[in-house]
Amino acid sequence: MNRVNYVFFIFIICLSVFSCSDSSTNSPEEGKGKISGIVQYLDGTPGYSALIELKTLPSNTKIYDTADVNGEYKFENLKSGNYLLSFEKTGYEIKSYEKTVTLKEDEQITEDIYIVYNMLDESFAMVVDTDIVFIRFNPDAAKIGDNYEMVSHLSGYYRRDILGTSTLSSQVYIIPEGFNWTNPGVELNAQYIKDNFIFVTEVEDNFLNGTHEIRYTGDDIPKILSNPQNGFAFVRKEGIGKQIQIPCVDYNNNDFGLLIFYK
């Protein structure tokens, strides 16, 4: 290699090195913003293992984090901008959650996420006869805690009554703890329940467009959501010549219970 070619070769190598070095220096840096919080049910129970999504707007780039045993999640090294924070429900009984969050440069935002149930679901239900129905609600199927003021009303309905022979109009009683459903040892009838069970409330059947509906409002909400250990007895009101039905709020899953409507 002659001297001229050698000098030219060294010049090209140096130019390449400096070019690479300059490109590295100008690469974009990560942001220092942070969005974090706690995932929990309304009663304060941590939303362990809940999958949380953070979507960058408007690019729709997504990243994920899973809540730990304390329900805590976090997204770090974020740039300023608009984000959509969301929790996607994993079953029919739970509502989804999403909220738009605007993050300023290097800002740290705390955003708690609440997992909210759609319904108070049954763990066991039994038709005693045409006058009486027993329902024990699933103790984990609402997780309201004492936050009754967040609930607008509870609603139960029944729509498969072509002949119009059913009713949801009933008086509601608490089934005493220790009462044996399968072997009560007594003849269960309306009078026995009225004499021995604790009265809670009564509801009227509203029949509209082929659907029977009952609603619990006001002071009845905490009475029902307190969910006694041994459940409730629904007794058909006197003078109504129809068979009592169990409120069925999800026919696809054969779920008996009450829908929860929030304020």
Q: What is the pLDDT of residue 21?
A: 36
Whether 15 is covered by a domain: the verdict is no
Neighbouring residues of 237: CB distance < 8 A, sequence distance ≥ 6:
167, 169, 170, 171, 202
- Number of structural domains (the chain) is 2
Question: pLDDT tens digit string along 242-256?
Answer: 999 999 988 878 889
* 96 and 150 share one domain: no
Nearest to 237 by CA among 206, 198, 203: 203
Q: Which of 81, 115, 149 is the last residue of a domain?
A: 115
Give the model's confidence band at 20: pLDDT under 50 very low, under 70 low, under 90 confident, else very high. Answer: very low
Whether 1 is covered by a domain: the verdict is no
- Distance from the first to the final alpha carbon of the chain: 85
CATH number, domain containing residue 64 = 2.60.40.10
Helix (H, G, I), strand (E, B) or coil at 167: strand
**Domain range spanning residue 214?**
119-262
* 70 and 149 share one domain: no
Whether 8 is covered by a domain: the verdict is no
Question: pLDDT tens digit string along 97-145?
Answer: 999 999 999 999 999 999 999 999 999 999 999 999 999 999 888 999 9
* 183 and 196 share one domain: yes
Neighbouring residues of 126: CB distance < 8 A, sequence distance ≥ 6:
133, 134, 181
